[in-house]
Every structure is written in structure tokens, then in C-alpha cells.
Structure 1
């Protein structure tokens, strides 16, 4: 039998016609669009395509921040001599000199980028007692190594295989197959510099006679690893599109970029009109994502309904998925705009492993944090961190450690002299000058600049997850 629809027939009533026809003039935020019986007039054709290209440019920026961030980070590391067989590291710990997205001053970092197209299958010997993660060039999770990885913190040998690799896979390795030739390797050694320096990276073909490991200490180096907020952002994205397998990017984002002229195997050569539009798109999008980050409208961003502390993982998904499986586009854009390295260990790791984060740029009255004022933050006794906790201050422009007279803008449980109150609470002070004798508990700020604060918990405990322990608000003195 033929299918009979239960839907009512809308007919051709005036109301129905009004909903499907195009008026002769449409007022829009981009100017008026004029039509002749639904067909666009010449000025409307031009304005429509300018508008479409601008909107696609904005969306492409917001959706492709993870990739641009990887390109900028790799470029920055290469500028100081870190190639695919060199590990850049921080000894004894990272200062505010490098422009690195929300780096911390507590753990010893190691970083490099794989080049599987040049080196072939590559071995990484991960240090023990570490929190290491590998992301591909679109900053999608590849694997954890260390405490949250299959070696369980004992140290292990990981073999990274190029996309499409069909050769023999020898025994004795944790085999990993990234979707891109380039991958970012982040090594965080809880045992400090000595432990970090046990890490090794080399091509599989050199495993019988391993070369001496090269290291570059960048803790106090002034270099940039942050992506652009202008037209050159799209040139950064084109770098990945040209170098990586076409199938490594999902069709939706590939389609957005293709509409802008970024296609694998073709030169990206926008004319003056398109360059101007994309420059505007990048600047608008960078403003939008700052709004999303510092004043999110999704209540899921807030750790607590009555406090300003936020998380970029509103659903607890490192893949930025809702409970229904939809991609949370705002969440993904926010995280990758001011941070790096997404992994399950940062979101869903078992109690006592991995790490947890909360950030805020507001004081207890809802005003932006001002580097010319004095504030206090109370961390109640029993801070839920098995390994250690830290409070860092960041520059809202660069999203990197705040540059002050002191190279380490932080207070943490490993800092010498940090004092707790008689009741066990720890009070952290922020301001341009030290509050009397409380220098160990003080983070210096800069008059005339804002700042934001991030609380880090390494090895978070149950009272963090069940929210029975909560950090105080940042209170103006």
C-alpha cells in the first residue's frame, strides 16, 4: 500500500506563502539584500558571498584552533632547535619567559613532535612516574604514557607507526597508530629533571644502536608557541592540510576549509578580497572565543552554580561530546584556545591519578581580576591532591604565564616556605606588592593588566569529584 502521511497539508494560505517566499528586501546585520521576485540583484550577490565567506571563516577559526595551535607550537620548538629526535625540556621548571599556552611552573616538561613521514616508525621510551600524553596534529588524543598509560607509571617503550603502515610490528612495544605523521609528545615527569632525562626518542631502525639523546632546555627561553589571531591563522591551518593525509581530517571541517580555498594538493592563494575577509573573520572569532572562555553561557562550564570556577569540559568528555553524542563546539574552541593536551587522564582518570583543573578571571564580586589590586584566595584544609596542587597566574592576552619580576607566578604545595593557617587552610595572595611577610604565599601581578588564575590538582582525590571540598572565591583585599 502507498504510504499515507499523517502530517496536515499546509495548503497555500497567505501564512504559508509568507513563510516560503523571499521579500524584495531583507534587512540583515550585513546590510540590505535586494531581490527581484526572489532573484538576487547584483549588489546582493556580492554582499551574500562576502557574508558567507566571513561566516565560514569565523566558523573555520573556531573549529580549527586545535590544529593551528599544534602548528604554532611545533614552529616555536623548532625555532630553538627541537626537532623530531630532540626533546625540549624545562630545568628545573618552566618560567614565564616562553609564550606557551597555560604552562605550569611545577612539573618538569618535555616536548617534541614526531615526524613519522621522515623517520618512519618511532620509539619513545617514557619515563616512570610520569603523566605523558600524545596528541595528533589536530590535537586529538592518541595515547597516554606513564601513570595513566598502559605502562602504569613503570616506564615503557611505545612504538608509533605512520598512517597506513603495513609493515611488521615487533614485539615488546606498546604499538600506537596516530592518524597524522606529526604528533605532539608531552612528557611530564613527576620525578623532576633527573627522571625526564631518562626519556628517549629514536627511529625504530636505530633501536639496535640507539643514538645519544639530544635535549634542549627551554625553561628560560623567550620564544612564541601561540597561534595567530589574524589572516596568518589560515596559513597555519594550510600547513597541516598540505602535510597530512586527507583522511586525517573529518569531512565537515575539511569542507569548511575547502570553501575558503584550503585544499590538500592545491596552493592556498586567496585574492585581496578573500584575504581581507579572512583577516576580519580571524579577529572576530578570536574575540568570540575569549567571550566563550571568560563568560561562558553554558552552565556546564561552572564547577559550582554559586562560584566563578570553570572547567572547559562541561560534560566530562575529553572529546567534547554531550550525553547525546553531539560535539560541544564552544567547549572545544575554548579549551584549545587557551590550553593544550586533551586526554582521558585530564577528565575521567580514576581517583588519585591524572590531573584536574579549574580557572577563573573574576573576583568574588564578579569583576575582572585587576593586576593593580590585592586579592586573597583561600584553599580549605585537605586540598584533594595525592601528588601536589598549584595555583598559577596567567596573562589573558597570551594565555601564558604572567610575566612579572618573579619568573614563577605561582604558589604550590611544593614551594619552599608556603604556609598554612592554624586551621589548615592555605591563603594565597595576589597583588603588585607582597603582603608583608607572606611572600611564599604571594603571586605578583602587574598594574594595568588583568590576569586569570588556574588551580591544578595532580592526583585528584574523591573530595574534588564529589565537591565536598571547594576552593574559595578570589576576594578583593
Structure 2
């Protein structure tokens, strides 16, 4: 049975006319892309191409900011291939430790690293035997966390066998392994072993089909071999993404991000062949996207990006989420900020706990808010009793490449060295300049005239004074 109601008064003629104004487009619309002309809401022919050029530019910029994580790992793999790490059984390592010779996003000089790239498409299910007392991470090729191995992983540092399955795998899942299915065929392996290179060389990577008689692994020292593992900032960025999209299954990306990329011609199963018009627009989009990324890294506007109000030291993992989630939403700026200048996604880095993991802080400006200049002299006072269970360090990086500053092989100072001179109050004053201030050589890291730089403080095993803010790193001071 229907019940009829009484209609309301509705809008007056004047109110309706006002509503139409709010939902209409004027015949002449001035925009950053130029003047756009319409006839009663319909674009005039002369404006249609301008509108679509603007749409392609906006989509290209969004695609850059969205796809930085994937491009970063495509570039990582390309760089590793140039030094011989071209198959999963080949494992690169840095002996004695990383240095400034190659281009890597913000590595440190205190740790011996190991690295490999899994190919689950070629090998199928793949086994990694992690060394004991290690801290290892597996990320998929869109830079999403798969698992930790070693101390932060399920083997708790005892060493263990890990089985990695390709996307959509429906075959055998044998017992005796920590088993994970990855959304992507390619996966990045990061290895750190407390026992150094000998311990790292206990790592084994082989196909599950060879479990009864695993092949030998080849270990290649990549410490002193020049290489570039950093993604592009021009049109070739999109070629890096095209390679990734073609290699990986459609299921590797959610429909929204896949749609952003498909809108500019980056679609699985279709060649990426933009015409000259779109190619030029995408080149502009990459350069603008890189400019935005640099603002997010060096001058973020999110208050949560800073450790303390009124201080320039910044947090690489804004909000402490390795998935860049905040209040149930993806923090897109935080994701771009991190991936534009750093690598490795793991909860152990994003959300350290007292005495475990590591904490990171960086800045690109001095106490007056000015960009750090390699021609000038600066000092940084590290207060007494740095809250690090294991050790602390400060490394310098090139603001262009986000790689170690090539002013010296090891542009860093660390409490491990035992050579840093302390002040009477227990603090340590570090110096940054092209030449060492007299008598400060042991506390000095050289800079390069004409180049900017930025430091990163690392606390390994951060302690409670870091978390409660009772110990803070002060601003960098420019010397007159």
C-alpha cells in the first residue's frame, strides 16, 4: 500500500538560478594551462586538445608520484645486473662495507650489505636459507613488504629455510619452510649478518626443485664497482615502469593504481609507445613529479614529518607505518617521500622499539632554515649519551642523487670508530666543510664546494630517551 506525502515548498526561482551557477562552467575559464572556452558548458574545439594535454600532464605527474617505489626497484635490478648480479643464485655483498663509489639511495657506510633479486617466474618456488644472527628483508617489486628473515623474522635469528611462491601458485607447499606467496615474480633480497661477510656467505638461494641437491651460490663483492641503482627523473622513468608492468601479472597492482598508469598508456599486455605529443608531456610530468618529490623529502609540509615542533629534523617513515597508513588512509605524500630517497620496507625500520631495530633522522637545512652548502663550514653537536644500545652514526648524502656524498670514500662518522673526540660535557661536535677545521680532523666529514648535502643520524638499538624526546639532536650551525 502506497502512502502519499505532501511535497515541500522546494526552491524559489532565484534559489534555483543560484544552484545552477554553482554547478555550471563559465564560457571562459582561466587555468594554469591557458584559457579554456566553452559554449554553454560544451568545450569549444580550440580548447579540447588543451584540456586533454592538461589531463595527460596531471595523470603523468600522479603516475610518477605513485610509481616511484616500482621504478626504484627496476633501477636497483638494472644497476645490480651491470656488476654481475644477473641471476638469483648470484649474491652481491659489500666488503668491508658500503662506500660512496656507486649510486644507491641513502645506504650507510657502517654495515656490510648483501643483496639478490629473486625471479619466481623463471625459477618457480624458491628457497632462501638465511644465515644465523642476521637481519634480512624480502620486498616485492612494487616495494611492498613480504617478510623479515633472521632476528626480526620467524626464525628469531636461529637461521631458517624460507620458501617463496610466485603469485597465484597452486602447487605443492612442503613442510619444513616458512612459506610466503609474493604478489610479484621479482623480489628484492636485502641481507645483513652480524657475523659480517663470512656469516653472509652462509646464505643459500636455490629453486625448490633442487632442494635435495642445491646449486652453489656465487658471491660477488660489489663494494668498489661503479654502478647506478637510482631511477630516472625524465621520460625514461615511464619506460622503467613499462618494463615492470609487462613483467608482472595484472594482479600485482590494485585497480586504482593500475588505472592511473593505464591512463597514460602503461598497461599490461600492450606496448608502451606514446606519440611525440604524449612523450613530451610525460617528460614534463616526470620532471615536475621529481620536483614535487624533492619538496616532500627536503621541505615537507606535513607536521607529522618532523620529530619535534620547530626543529628541522625529519622522519623517513612518517607516522611509523611501513604501509604508510594514517587513520585508515594511504598517506600518499609519505610514501613518495620515503621511496624517493630511501630503500627497504620492513616494520622493523618503520616502527622501532626501545633497544631493537634502528631509528633515523635527517635534515637538509641549518639552524636558520637555509639549504646546506658544501662551500661553507658547519657544526653539529651530538649531545652526551646518545640513546643507542649498539652504536650511532652520521652519514652525508648528495641532495641530487640521494646517494652517499662523493667527497670521500666513507663520508661518515660513527661511534664504532672510537676516534671521535668528545667535549668535557660528554657531547661530540661534528664538523662539515671542504677542509678540516684546525684540530678537528677526527670529527670532520668533508663536503664539496658548490654542492648541497644532507646528513642522516642513525641510532642502532634506539633507547627510551629517543622515544620520549628527552634526548634530541640539535640543529646544524653555520660557522661565520
Change beyond 3 A, Cα 1:439–1:336: same
Counterpart of 1:408 in structure 2 is 410
Residue 211 of structure 1 aligns with which residue?
215
Aligned partner of residue 292 in structure 2, secondary structure: helix
**SS of the residue aligned with 1:158?**
strand
Residues 122-133 of structure 1: matches in 2 within 5 Å? 122-133=126-137
Pair 1:346-2:346 in alignment: no
Cα distance, 1:145 vs. partner?
1.2
Q: Unaligned regions of 5+ residues in structure 2, if any?
A: none
Shift of 1:313: 2.3
Deviation by residue 1:309-337 (Cα, 9 ceiling, x = unmatched):
00132221111111x21111111001000
In structure 2, how many angstroms separate the alpha carbons of the residues matched to 1:195 and 1:383?
A: 29
Deviations 1:291-317 (A, max 9, x none): 111111110000010211001322211
Q: For structure 1, which runs of at least 5 residues remain unmatched after alignment?
A: none
Correspondence for 1:86: 90
CA contact (8 A) 2:352 2:462 kept: no
CA gap 1:177/1:2 in 2 versus in 1, 3 angstroms: farther
Count of residue pairs brought into register by the alignment: 475
TM-score, structure 2 as length reference: 0.96
Q: CA contact under 8 A between 2:380 and 2:429: conserved in structure 1?
A: yes
Whether 2:270 is the aligned partner of 1:266: answer yes
CA-atom RMSD in angstroms? 1.8
CA contact (8 A) 2:89 2:216 kept: no
Quote how far apart the aligned CAs of 1:10 are: 5.5
Counterpart of 2:457 in structure 1 is 455
- Matching residue of 2:36: 33
Local SS of the residue matching 2:210: helix
Change (3 A) 1:376 1:81: same
Of 295-304 and 340-349, the range deviating more from structure 2: 340-349
The aligned runs of 1:320-399 (5 Å cut-off) are 320-322=324-326, 324-399=327-402
1:9 to 1:458, Cα distance in 2 relative to 1, 3 A? farther
Separation of aligned partners in 2, 1:199 and 1:5? 78
- Alpha-carbon spacing, 1:442–1:163, altered in 2? closer, same or farther (3 Å): same
Q: Distance in 1 between matches of 2:354 and 2:149?
A: 17
1:466 is matched with: 468
Residues 138, 187 of structure 2: 8 Å contact kept:
yes
- Cα offset, 1:7, TM superposition: 11
Bigger mean CA offset, 172-181 vs 417-426: 417-426
**Shift, 1:54, TM fit:** 0.2
| 1:167-226 C-alpha deviation (Å, 9 max, x unpaired) | 222222111111101011111223322222222211112222222220111111111001
Which residue of the other structure, out of 176, 179, 182, is the alignment partner of 1:172? 176
Instruction: Tell me how far apart the structure 1 counterparts of residues 229 and 8 of structure 2 sit (CA, whole Å).
Output: 56
Whether 2:283 is the aligned partner of 1:279: answer yes
User: By how many angstroms is 1:239 displaced?
Assistant: 0.9
Of stretches 192-201 and 52-61 in structure 1, the one that deviates more from structure 2 is 192-201
Cα offset, 1:8, TM superposition? 9.6
Counterpart Cα distance in 2 of 1:364 and 1:208: 61
For residues 15-26 of structure 1, what are the structure 2 equivalents within 5 Å?
A: 15-26=18-29
Q: Structure 1: how far apart are the matches of 2:34 and 2:441? A: 56
